[in-house]
Each structure stands twice: as structure tokens, then as C-alpha cells.
Amino acid sequence: MSAPKRLLIAAFAIAASVPLLAAPVRINLATLAPQSTTWHKALLDMGNTWKTSTEGRVTATVFGGGNLDEATIITKMRPGFETVQAAFLTAVGLAAIDPSFNVFSIPFFLESDAEEQAVETRLTPMIEQKLQAKGYHLLAWGTGGWVQVFSKKPLRSLAQVKGAKLYMSKGSDDWLAWYVKNGFNPVALLPGNIPEQLRLATGMIDTAPMPPYVASTLQIHKDAKYMLDLHIAPLPGALIIANSAWNKMSAEDQVKVSAAAKTFETRVRAETPTQDAEALKVMTAAGLQVISLDAAAKAEFRAAANQLLSTLNETMVPKDVLAAATQERDAFRKAKGK
């Protein structure tokens, strides 16, 4: 065998022994969080960390705010579309993938950030398994704050809240029917329709539950000048990625991407309460009136919450998830002496 031929064979052997370099994984990450908010900034920083820690093997482009609703974002993540590979979504949007996330939307079921996080920790293995079966990987949790009630006229009782034209997110037909069954007057709209409808003298809604920072961002306090300090429920979120994108990453890069996602989670948990408090100060200075309930009214709402819980069906919250969440919540309260 000639020397050139031996060299050529050796070169092929060496090349065959070297692992092929994986193609870069480019992630389009979508969220409803407007630009310049805590969530959007934290997502941008996370994306930068992905790029630097993986030496460019994983990159992210973050699309914040805009006109997309969460149902559309989820559609764009599905096989056959896949123009979006990851998303930071609220529990409302995530429930379109799996109803387990609805457990966090039950009125008065949870009472504090610590209680919410304890329940999230308990449910995480269950939810991870359910998401995996549907083609998604859970990277991190997040929070959007606590939902308060903003209204065009003062609300001080359960009867007045039930009589209000109450905004709820479009696409949650089971929840719409549930609220109607329990005596409320919900109106399903896209979030982007809220400010316009509140501005109208005869708008479709006159009341909108949402966290204070979101209310401030949408400037709804200019028309809905009252806030009932009710802490209805937390508005958690989660950062998910399509398995088709996740599985393209090396095991080493998956560890780095997960670590940056956990840093994102820690950051938004720390910054969101401060963000809400500052937003409330700004809105109050601009004329927002905060209404606090007396003891009798609080007791009335708590009693109504137990009734609401008893009328849930499994299509809204799976039984295994509700049972696990209730058990963890009660254990947390017992440990705290409640």
C-alpha cells in the first residue's frame, strides 16, 4: 500500500473517532410579559447566560409582549409549527397544555408566596411527567404576583363582586361556566381588550382581576379607580421548552441551561413583590382607592371559597393534583401553627 493511501486511511480513521459537533440550538422564546418588565429583563439575561455558558451552542431570542395570546404561543410550539421553541407562560395559558396548572387559580385556595412555593415543589414531579407526555420540558417556575380586584365602582361585599361584569381570560370555557354556575357574571376577553372595555361607559366589563403591576402597566387604574384588597389567588408562571429543542442539546448544555433557568426563577420571585408594591404606590398617588374588607366580609368570602372548591370538576383540576396540593397546603399551615 502506497504511503499516500496509508495517510488517507489514517485520516479517515481519525475523523471517524472524533464526535461530530452538534449544530447550534436556536431558541425562539415567547412571552406576554411586556418589554422592560422584570420578567422580560430576566428572560433576556437568562438568554445571554445560555449563550455564554454554552459557548454559543444554545442561543435565545426573546419575544415579549406584542399581540400574541398564550394559546397562539402554544400552537406555535407544537409539532408541525415549531416556530417557537420555548415560552414563559402564566398558569392560565399553561392550563391549555395540562389542566393541572388550574389548581393555582382556585380562589382563596392559597394564602401566601411561601404556601404557593410549597405546593409547587410538591406538584413539580407530577407536572413534569404530565408535560413530558405532551412534548414539553419544565425548566423553571415563575410568578406574576397576586391577583387583586380592580373596578370602576367600589366593591365591598361578595354580592357586589358577583354583580360586577367580571373580566376573565378568553379560552377557559369550563371556568366561565363554573363562575356562572356559582352566581358570578364573567365576561371572556383577551387581555389586550381590557383597557378599551374599561374606558367605555357601557363596556363589556367593569371589573378586572389582576396583579397590581399588570394593572399599572395597562394603566387601567385611570378608569377602574378602585382596588378591592382581596388576594384572590397567585398568578404563577412557568418556563417550558419543547422536547424537540431540549433533546438537541448535549447533556452538559442541558445542565447549564437548567441552571440559568433556576436563576431566572429566583430573580423573578425576589423582584415581583417589590414591583407590585411600587406599582400600588404609583397608582394610589394617581387616585386609586384601595378598599380593605372588614372581618364579616372576609368571612363571607372565605365561606364562598369553600363552596366554590366543592363544585370543581376533574376537567378543571385533576383529582390527583388537587389531592396532592390540598395535602401539602394543609401540612404547610399545620407546620406554621395555622
What is the C-alpha to C-alpha distance for residues 166 and 86, in angstroms, rounded to an integer? 31
- pLDDT category of residue 66 using cuts at 50, 70 and 90: low
Quick: pLDDT tens for 157-207: 999 999 999 999 887 788 899 999 999 999 998 888 899 999 999 999 999
Given a cut of 60, whether residue 92 has pLDDT beyond it is yes
Chain center to CA of 261: 14
Question: What does the pLDDT read at residue 292?
Answer: 94
Amino acid at 324: A
Which of the residue ranges 15-29, 30-44, 155-169 would you say has the lowest mean pLDDT? 15-29
Domain 24-335 class, CATH top level: alpha beta
Question: What does the pLDDT read at residue 303?
Answer: 86
**Burial tier of 78 (Cβ tally within 10 Å: 0-12, 13-18, 19+):** middle
Quick: pLDDT tens for 111-131: 899 999 999 999 999 999 999
Contacts (Cβ under 8 Å, ≥6 apart) of 219: 195
Question: What does the pLDDT read at residue 1?
Answer: 54
User: Across residues 297-303, what is the average pLDDT?
Assistant: 87
Q: Is 36 left (phi over 0), alpha (psi -120 to 50) or beta?
A: left
Given a cut of 60, whether residue 141 has pLDDT beyond it is yes
What is the C-alpha to C-alpha distance for residues 264 and 39, in angstroms, rounded to an integer? 8
Query: Do 103 and 325 meet the contact criterion of CB atoms below 8 Å apart?
Result: yes
Domain boundaries, the chain: 24-335
pTM score, two decimals? Answer: 0.87
- Collapsed DSSP state (helix, strand, coil) of residue 118: helix
